[in-house]
């Protein structure tokens, strides 16, 4: 019990004193996961919209694959991205392993199917007649796609949040491709793992509290989105 | 064929789905200022026709002409679509403000900001929506949402407007006020319109022409009176709600003056079916008069039958009486005459109707 209390007190002291190391780790986490989410947003919303709005043979299989990808185990992603970026691997020449860029790549791979899957669902949830209505208003194909994305913006935002929530809290891929290098690739989750292993519970708790705060903000926004009414 | 007299013209338009032909229109034209009601059962191809005209579903063959010019390229199809507005059954509003919704068609067309503003404000006003301009489309009642969808359609100032059952599932007063607003603007601006409806009174009230579709084909095309009073076949007769349809056999036909045997009775009618032919006699309820005394000497009506009132139903300003004359007959009476005559269920009366009020339709294969 003392251990927890002591840990909590010290954690709050660390946070209150704006400990540069803790803050640095938090900022890096936000930056890396934010960029990864941005990448997944461009690919996920683009491809997801295309998949949702077109008809082609094998669509069901593809959508199932995307949905499976939404639960991709981070360690598996970490493994394959490590192999790709390994010195003798296909992309070894880029020398990206154990850099923040490697974490961004791995996290993008994790977040993209999440954003894509939610995009497909969001687009398919729009009434089919809405497409007719937009075209009947005189829209071109491009205007149609743009207006549909605008209509689905709330569930799409939920997709973005889910993607971000997924990557900021994953540890497996980050530690494998980032290496948890101090001041360089050490993010909230990898640092928590390490500090816990060392018995530095105060720092670990401080890091966890920041992570929890991020998760709360994400879920608050998600809940807010979900509770809005639909237009008639 | 003088195509330029028509705003819209179709030739040999066919649409198939899954190898089944669901629409087949050899020719159809919509004239300037014309208001056409499209009626028919579900799956008759009414919505398909509108979508095919707009090029929103693939047609198998056929051509669409706008003011004498055939629509061929994708560019001309888009330009044509921008001359039409379409109001669907659901309001299908965008997740933004009422103002933005009404402006959406104008923005799509690239209309300038100042003009968009003027037009949006004008149509918000016409549809009594000015107070709701800033309101989110998510927070509207059903009636308000329909108003917005109508304002959005009219704001683009189309040459042609399509309505696909725009007032379904609305309460009667809302429906009536929306219909009136819509009608007024259409007449003011001389827009040609096609209305898909299930409501015959709506079709009668609004349109100058009624087209009946069934199984993807036009089965009747004429003035509302012609369609309602002289349905071309049994299907149309049933569909337009001709209340009394009697099966009979033609006993004689002398210069179109027919005698038709219906059960044990004989009905005089005017029509072309020949002696021995099986026919349906269609009698509209408003053409059947009810009296307490035998009117044989006071009326020119050729058909007078003693009857008993078996059912009374209220239909707004009048009452619908179901009569038993040995055959079923329906009559409409005003509330006033109902009270004056002191009618009630079981009252014995005389039902009379003219030979010209009986519309005989030859039975298929009869």
Domains of chain B, residue spans: 3-236, 242-362
* Sign of the C-alpha dihedral computed for residues B220, B222, B224 and B227 taken in this order: negative
The sheet carrying B6-17 orders its strands as B20-31, B6-17, B61-66, B69-70
Element (H, E) at A42: helix A20-53
Residues A118-130 have a mean pLDDT of 92
SS3 of residue A184 by DSSP: coil
**Does residue A101 sit in helix, strand or coil?**
helix
Q: What is the mean pLDDT of chain A?
A: 91
Contacts of B145 in chain A (CB under 8 A): 231-232
Residue B365 has pLDDT above 50, yes or no: no
What is the 8-class DSSP label of residue A153?
H
Helix axes A188-198, A201-226, angle to 10 degrees: 150
Per-residue pLDDT reduced to its tens digit, B116-129: 999 999 999 999 99
Two tokens at A91?
């992309």
Chain B residues in contact with A228 (beta carbon < 8 A): 138
pLDDT at residue B159 greater than cutoff 90: yes
Residue B105: per-residue pLDDT:
96
- Per-residue DSSP letters for B49-104? HHHHHHTSS--SEEEEEETTEE--SHHHHHHHHTTEEEE-SS----SSBHHHHHHH
Q: How far, in Å, CA of B261 to CA of B268, rounded?
A: 9
Q: Quick check: A19 and A207 in contact, CB under 8 A? A: no
Choose among B51, B88, B95: nearest Cβ to A151.
Answer: B95
pLDDT of amino acid B241 = 67
In CATH terms, the superfamily for domain B3-236 is P-loop containing nucleotide triphosphate hydrolases (3.40.50.300)
Evaluate if residue A160 carries a pLDDT over 80: yes
Nearest to B140 among A136, A151, A232 (CB): A232
**Bridge partners (DSSP) listed for residue B245:** B282
- Neighbour count for residue B297 (Cβ, 10 Å): 7
- In this model, does residue B364 exceed pLDDT 60? no
Q: How confident is the model at residue B2, as a pLDDT?
A: 46
pLDDT at B301: 84
Find chain B residues with C-beta within 8 A of A230's C-beta. Answer: 95, 138
Domain ranges of chain A: 2-226
Task: Give the distance from residue B166's alpha carbon to the nearest chain A alpha carbon, in angstroms.
Answer: 13
* Helix residue ranges, H only, B195-322: 200-206, 224-229, 234-239
Q: What is the reported pLDDT for A152?
A: 92
Q: What does DSSP say about strands B160-164 and B192-196: parallel, antiparallel, or unpaired?
A: parallel
| Nearest chain A Cα distance for residue B159, angstroms | 13
Domain A2-226 class?
Answer: mainly alpha
Across the range A81-102, mean pLDDT stands at 93
Is B256:B272 a contact under the CB 8 Å cutoff?
yes
Q: How far apart are the first and last CA of chain A?
A: 55
Note the pLDDT of residue B347: 92
Per-residue pLDDT tens over the stretch B128-141 = 999 999 999 989 99
Mean pLDDT of all residues in B288-313: 89
Averaged pLDDT, B240-266: 86
Share above pLDDT 70 across residues of chain B, in percent, rounded to a whole number = 94
Distance (Å) from the alpha carbon of B113 to chain A's nearest alpha carbon: 18
Q: Distance between CA A48 and CA A223 in Å, rounded?
A: 23
Confidence band (pLDDT; 50, 70, 90) for B243?
A: low
Q: How confident is the model at residue A1 (pLDDT cuts 50, 70, 90)?
A: low
Tokens coding A222 = 């998600």
CATH value of B242-362 in 2.70.98.40, 3.40.50.300, 3.90.1640.30, 2.40.50.100 = 2.40.50.100
From the list B81, B136, B142, which residue is nearest A138 (CB)? B81
For residue A70, pLDDT over 50 is answered with: yes
Which pLDDT belongs to residue B195? 95
C-beta of residue A30 within 8 angstroms of C-beta of residue A213: no
Q: CA of B133, closest CA in chain A: separation in Å?
A: 15
What Rg do the C-alpha atoms of chain B give, in angstroms?
Answer: 25
Is residue A86 scored above 90 in pLDDT?
yes
Whole-angstrom Cα distance, residue A140 to residue B260? 60
Sign of the Cα pseudo-torsion (A186, A192, A195, A201, in order): positive
Q: Fold identical between B3-236 and B242-362?
A: no
Answer yes or no: is pLDDT of B201 > 80. no
Q: Could you give the angle at which helices A20-53 and A141-151 cross, rounded to 10 degrees?
A: 130
pLDDT of residue B93: 95
ipTM given for this complex: 0.78
Q: Which of A199, A164, A219 is nearest to A29 (CA)?
A: A164
Alpha-carbon distance of B74 to B82, in angstroms, equals 12
Position with higher pLDDT, A87 vs B245: A87
* Residue B276 exposed, middle or buried by CB count within 10 Å (0-12, 13-18, 19+): exposed
B4-56: pLDDT as tens digits:
479 999 999 999 998 899 999 999 999 998 999 999 888 899 999 999 999 99
Angle (CA) B117-B123-B128 rounded to 5° is: 125
How many percent of chain A have pLDDT more than 90? 69
**Contacts (Cβ under 8 Å, ≥6 apart) of B8:** B29, B30, B53, B64, B65, B66, B160, B192
- Interface touch A231/B84, C-beta < 8 Å: no
- Residue B366 pLDDT: 36
């Amino acid at each position: 019990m003392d251990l927890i209390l002591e840990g909590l007190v010290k954690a709050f002291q660390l946070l209150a004193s704006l400990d540069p190391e803790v803050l640095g780790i938090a900022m890096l986490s936000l930056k890396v996961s934010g960029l990864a989410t941005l990448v997944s947003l461009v690919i996920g919303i683009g491809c997801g919209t295309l998949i949702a709005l077109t008809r082609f043979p094998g669509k069901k299989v593809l959508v199932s694959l995307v949905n499976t990808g939404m639960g991709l185990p981070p360690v598996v992603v970490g493994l394959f991205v490590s192999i790709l970026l390994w010195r003798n691997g296909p992309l070894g020449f880029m020398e990206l392993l154990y850099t923040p860029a490697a974490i961004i790549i791995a996290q993008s791979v994790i977040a993209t199917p999440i954003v894509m899957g939610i995009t497909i669902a969001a687009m398919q949830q729009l009434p089919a007649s809405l497409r007719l209505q937009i075209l009947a208003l005189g829209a071109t194909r491009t205007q149609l796609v743009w207006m549909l994305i605008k209509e689905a913006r709330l569930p799409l935002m939920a997709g973005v949040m889910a993607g971000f929530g997924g990557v900021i809290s994953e540890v497996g891929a980050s530690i494998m491709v980032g290496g948890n290098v101090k001041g360089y690739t050490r993010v909230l989750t990898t640092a928590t793992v390490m500090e816990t292993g060392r018995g530095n519970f105060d720092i670990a708790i401080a890091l966890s509290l920041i992570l929890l705060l991020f998760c709360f903000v994400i879920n608050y926004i998600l809940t807010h989105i979900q509770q809005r009414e639909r237009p008639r | 064929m003088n195509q330029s007299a028509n705003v819209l013209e179709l030739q040999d338009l066919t649409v198939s789905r899954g190898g089944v032909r669901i629409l087949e229109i050899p020719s159809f034209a919509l004239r300037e200022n014309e208001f056409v009601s499209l009626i028919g059962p579900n799956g008759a191809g009414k919505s398909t026709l509108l979508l095919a005209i707009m090029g929103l579903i693939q047609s198998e063959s056929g051509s669409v002409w706008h003011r004498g010019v055939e629509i061929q390229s994708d560019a001309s199809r888009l330009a044509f679509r921008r001359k039409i507005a379409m109001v669907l059954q659901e309001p299908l509003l965008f997740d933004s403000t009422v103002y933005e919704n009404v402006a959406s068609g104008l923005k799509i067309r690239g209309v300038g900001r100042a003009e968009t503003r003027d037009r949006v404000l004008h149509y918000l006003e016409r549809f009594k929506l000015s107070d709701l301009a800033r309101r989110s489309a998510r927070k509207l009642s059903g009636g308000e949402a329909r108003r917005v969808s109508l304002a959005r359609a009219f704001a683009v100032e189309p040459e042609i407007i399509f309505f696909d059952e725009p007032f379904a599932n609305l309460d009667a007063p809302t429906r009536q006020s929306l219909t009136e607003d819509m009608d007024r603007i259409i007449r003011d601006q001389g827009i040609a319109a096609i209305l898909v409806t299930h409501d015959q009174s709506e079709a009668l009230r609004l349109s100058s022409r009624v087209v009946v579709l069934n199984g993807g084909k036009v089965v009747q095309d004429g003035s509302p009176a012609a369609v309602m009073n002289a349905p071309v076949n049994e299907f149309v007769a049933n569909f337009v709600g001709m209340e009394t349809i009697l099966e009979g056999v033609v006993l004689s036909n002398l210069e179109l003056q027919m005698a038709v045997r219906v059960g044990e009775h004989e009905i005089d009618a005017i029509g072309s079916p020949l002696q021995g032919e099986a026919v349906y006699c269609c009698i509209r309820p408003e053409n059947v008069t009810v009296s307490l005394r035998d009117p044989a000497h006071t009326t020119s009506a050729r058909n007078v039958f003693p009857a008993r009132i078996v059912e009374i139903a209220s239909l707004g300003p009048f009452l619908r009486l179901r009569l038993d004359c040995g055959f079923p007959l329906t009559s409409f009476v005003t509330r006033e005459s109902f009270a004056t005559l002191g009618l009630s269920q079981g009252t014995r009366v005389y039902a009379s109707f003219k030979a010209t009020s009986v519309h005989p339709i030859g039975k298929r294969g009869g």
